[in-house]
Structures are given as structure tokens and as C-alpha cells.
């Protein structure tokens, strides 16, 4: 018998606990709609003249691509007026985002990187959107900085959208990690990957060995170890697009790492809206995310755009990174 066709709407309604069947469920619908719009634009990028740079820079000092700005705008416009959120944080905006006074405010805070891996856009390589959702600390206010500056342990849900050969929506609200593939003909996300778990035996490591000489000696030793272990022997795969590297490792087993470098001591990955949400997903899929010393989920950010060293994927491989790094202390 063939398996049933389950849309993301149907799945969310049947899976979410009663308390979350209102705003959190509908928030996922809004993100799924944003995903469809960004996917449409991504597919037609070269035709619509949205490749290339916008002429502006973001808080990281990175030049913003036209698709970065488009994706950020879509995430914002689909979520500012719904009454489900009381604040947002975007990689593309310096400050946290207030919900305009003329709209009612909700119980949730959404942090997001609208388009990760965007330096890959012009070369047709897979990119992604990452999001995390917190519950507001105090329902009585309209959202404050402290509602945004939270450690990953506080997340109630997280997910990503991957724009690859197909578009997928992967999320967890604490009960398993589930993946849906967009059927572009009917415009629906259909359940294709229920209860995703890192396979016990990993297959890949994903670190940019081009930066090897800039790593700390203990990270170099970890890199050497990854290249030489035989049980199991691992292959290297590095796309340079965090969502894509994480997704492959979730499906086949592996570790993604972005270590600190001589001129970039905390590496490149942002804690609040990249590392935290992916570490949440990793733990709910039987994996682990660490900065080399502690769980990424236990680090409270001091700033919205704080960077952190990252090792994330199969627990055994991430704990090995911690072992090498602790030896130096
Ligand atoms: P961009 O959004 O600037 O492409 O950066 C993507 C990213 O933050 C992450 O997705 C990659 O894993 C990492 O940078 C790649 O950086 P390197 O090119 O330095 O390895």
C-alpha cells in the first residue's frame, strides 16, 4: 500500500500539542508561505534580475545581495501584522524588530537568517533560511531586547528551509524533526521525511580546510583526526552553505564545523539565529551542537549578532572536537 499524502498543514494540526494549535501552528504556515515565495524568486533569480548586490551592507559589514534583501522583506512582511509575534531579529537588520504599534502583538519572538549561504547565490548553489521561535518572557509587554537575547535552550521551535534541487521545510517543535518537500505544481509542502535522526554511523565531515592554517592547533589536530580515522572512514563534503551542509549531515551522518580563525576568533556563524536553531534541531534529531567547550544551546548571547565557533552533527564527532579543545585548557 502506498503511503498517505500529508500536507504540512494537516501534519501540524495532528502533531502539535493542544496548547500550540493556535498561534504557533499558524506561525509555521506563515513561514511556509514565505518559503514558497523565496523559493519562487530563487528559482527565477537570473531571469528576474535579482542576482548580484543591492549596494548596501548589513550589520556584519557584508555586502547584501538582492535576494538577501528580498528574503528579509518577505519574512518581515508576512509576520509583522499577524498578531502572533511581539518581536523579530533578522541577520539583515542591525536592531531587533518591533511590531508596529498599530498591529496587535503576540506571544512569540522569531529570530531568523532570511538567506544563508548567499555568497553562493550567483553560482546556483543550494542556500537556505534558518529560523528559531521563543515564547515572550512576559506576556504583559510588547517585546523587549531581553525577549530576543535568549539561549537556544529557551527555543520552543526551530527550523530551516533549503532551496536546492527541491525546496524542503524542516522543523521541530520539540517532538521530532520533520521534513516536507515542496511540490511546485500544487504549491504544497508534503511530508517526505518524518522523524529525521542522524544515522548512527556518520559518513561526512564538513569544515573548510582552506582555513586550516588559521585554526588553533587543537582544532587542526581535530581536523587531522577527522581525515585519518578509519572506523568509520569519513569523506569530506563542504558546500559553504550552512543549511545545505547541515541537511546532508542530518541525512547521512556527519559533522559541520566552523572554527575560530586567527583573524576571526569566534568564527563566522551567528549564535542567535543560526547556531542556536540548528543546535536545537540537532538535539531533537539525536545529535549535538557545541562551541567546542559547551552546548551551543547553553550560551546566552550578549549581542544580537554575536558569532560563535560551531561544531554540529553526530554527537560522537562533536564530542571528539570538545575532547581535543579541552586538552588545551
Ligand atoms: P554567506 O551567507 O556570506 O555565503 O556565508 C555563509 C556562511 O555563513 C555559512 O553558510 C557557510 O558555512 C560559511 O559561511 C562559509 O564560509 P567560508 O566560505 O569561510 O567557509
Residue 55 belongs to domain with CATH number: 3.30.540.10
Residue 150 counted as domain residue: yes
Residues 179 and 69 in one domain: yes
Per mean pLDDT, which range of 51-65, 127-141, 143-157, 223-237 is the poorest?
51-65
**pLDDT tens digits for 148-191?**
999 999 999 999 999 999 999 999 999 999 999 999 999 999 99
Please state the atom number of ligand 1 nearest to the C-alpha of residue 208: 20
Q: Is pLDDT at 19 greater than 60 in this prediction?
A: no
The finding on whether 118 has its CB within 6 A of some atom of ligand 1 is yes
Q: Whose CA is nearest to atom 1 of ligand 1?
A: 117
Residue 62 counted as domain residue: yes
Residues 26 and 128 in one domain: yes
- Tell me, in angstroms, the distance from the centre of ligand 1 to residue 196's CA: 24
Residues 56 and 188 in one domain: yes
Residues 266 and 129 in one domain: no
Residue 1 counted as domain residue: no
Residue 199 counted as domain residue: no
Residues 216 and 91 in one domain: no
Residues 186 and 41 in one domain: yes
For 100, the domain range is 8-193
- Tell me, in angstroms, the distance from the centre of ligand 1 to residue 215's CA: 16
Residues 270 and 123 in one domain: no
Q: Which of 220, 313, 216, 320 is nearest to 260 (CA)?
A: 216
Residues 64 and 181 in one domain: yes
Q: What does the radius of gyration of the chain's CA atoms come to, in whole angstroms?
A: 19
**pLDDT tens digits for 274-325?**
999 999 999 999 999 999 999 999 999 999 999 999 999 999 999 999 999 9
Residue 257 counted as domain residue: yes
Residue 289 belongs to domain with CATH number: 3.40.190.80
Q: Grid coordinates standing for 316?
A: 560522537
- Tell me, in angstroms, the distance from the centre of ligand 1 to residue 90's CA: 17
**pLDDT tens digits for 223-258?**
999 999 998 899 999 999 999 999 999 999 999 999
Burial track 37-58 (b if 16+ CB lie within 10 A, e otherwise): bbbbbbeebeeeebeeeeeeeb
The finding on whether 268 has its CB within 6 A of some atom of ligand 1 is yes
Q: Whose CA is nearest to atom 13 of ligand 1?
A: 240
Residue 68 counted as domain residue: yes
- Tell me, in angstroms, the distance from the centre of ligand 1 to residue 255's CA: 16
Residue 198 counted as domain residue: no
Residues 177 and 28 in one domain: yes
The finding on whether 82 has its CB within 6 A of some atom of ligand 1 is no
Task: Cell 548580484: give the residue.
Answer: 52
How many angstroms separate the CA atoms of 169 and 310, rounded? 23
Q: How many domains does the chain have?
A: 2
Residue 316 counted as domain residue: yes
- Tell me, in angstroms, the distance from the centre of ligand 1 to residue 127's CA: 10
- Tell me, in angstroms, the distance from the centre of ligand 1 to residue 185's CA: 31
- Residue 32 phi, psi (nearest 5): -65, -35
Amino acid at each position: 500500500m502506498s503511503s498517505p499524502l500529508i500536507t504540512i498543514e494537516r501534519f501540524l494540526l495532528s502533531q502539535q500539542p493542544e496548547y500550540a494549535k493556535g498561534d504557533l501552528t499558524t506561525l509555521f504556515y506563515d513561514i511556509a508561505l514565505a518559503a514558497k515565495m523565496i523559493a519562487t524568486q530563487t528559482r527565477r533569480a537570473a531571469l528576474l534580475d535579482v542576482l548580484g548586490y543591492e549596494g548596501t551592507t548589513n550589520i556584519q559589514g557584508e555586502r547584501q545581495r538582492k535576494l538577501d534583501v528580498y528574503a528579509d522583506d518577505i519574512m518581515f512582511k508576512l509576520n509583522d501584522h499577524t498578531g502572533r509575534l511581539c518581536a523579530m531579529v533578522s541577520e539583515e537588520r542591525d536592531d531587533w524588530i518591533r511590531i508596529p504599534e498599530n498591529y496587535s502583538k503576540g506571544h512569540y519572538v522569531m529570530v531568523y537568517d532570511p538567506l544563508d549561504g548567499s555568497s553562493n547565490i550567483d553560482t546556483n548553489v543550494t542556500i537556505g533560511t534558518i529560523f528559531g521561535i521563543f515564547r515572550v518572557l512576559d506576556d504583559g509587554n510588547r517585546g523587549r531586547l531581553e525577549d530576543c537575547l535568549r539561549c537556544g535552550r529557551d527555543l520552543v521551535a526551530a527550523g530551516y528551509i533549503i532551496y536546492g534541487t527541491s525546496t524542503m521545510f524542516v522543523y521541530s517543535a520539540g517532538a521530532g524533526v520533520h521534513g516536507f518537500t515542496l511540490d511546485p505544481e500544487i504549491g504544497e509542502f508534503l511530508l517526505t521525511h518524518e522523524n529525521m535522526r542522524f544515522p548512527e554511523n556518520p559518513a561526512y565531515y564538513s569544515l573548510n580546510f582552506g582555513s586550516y592554517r588559521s585554526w588553533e592547533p587543537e582544532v587542526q589536530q581535530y581536523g587531522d583526526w577527522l581525515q585519518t580515522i578509519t572506523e568509520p572512514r569519513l569523506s569530506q563534503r563542504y558546500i559553504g552553505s550552512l543549511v545545505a551542509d547541515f541537511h546532508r549531515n542530518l541525512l547521512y551522518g556527519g559533522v559541520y564545523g566552523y572554527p575560530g580563525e586567527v583573524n576571526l576568533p569566534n568564527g563566522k556563524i551567528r549564535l542567535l539565529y543560526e547556531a542556536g536553531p540548528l543546535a536545537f534541531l540537532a538535539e531533537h534529531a539525536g545529535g549535538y551542537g557545541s562551541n567546542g567547550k559547551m552546548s551551543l544551546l547553553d550560551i546566552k548571547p550578549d549581542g544580537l549578532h554575536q558569532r560563535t565557533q560551531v561544531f554540529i552533527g553526530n554527537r560522537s564527532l562533536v564530542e571528539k572536537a570538545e575532547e581535543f579543545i579541552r586538552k588545551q585548557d
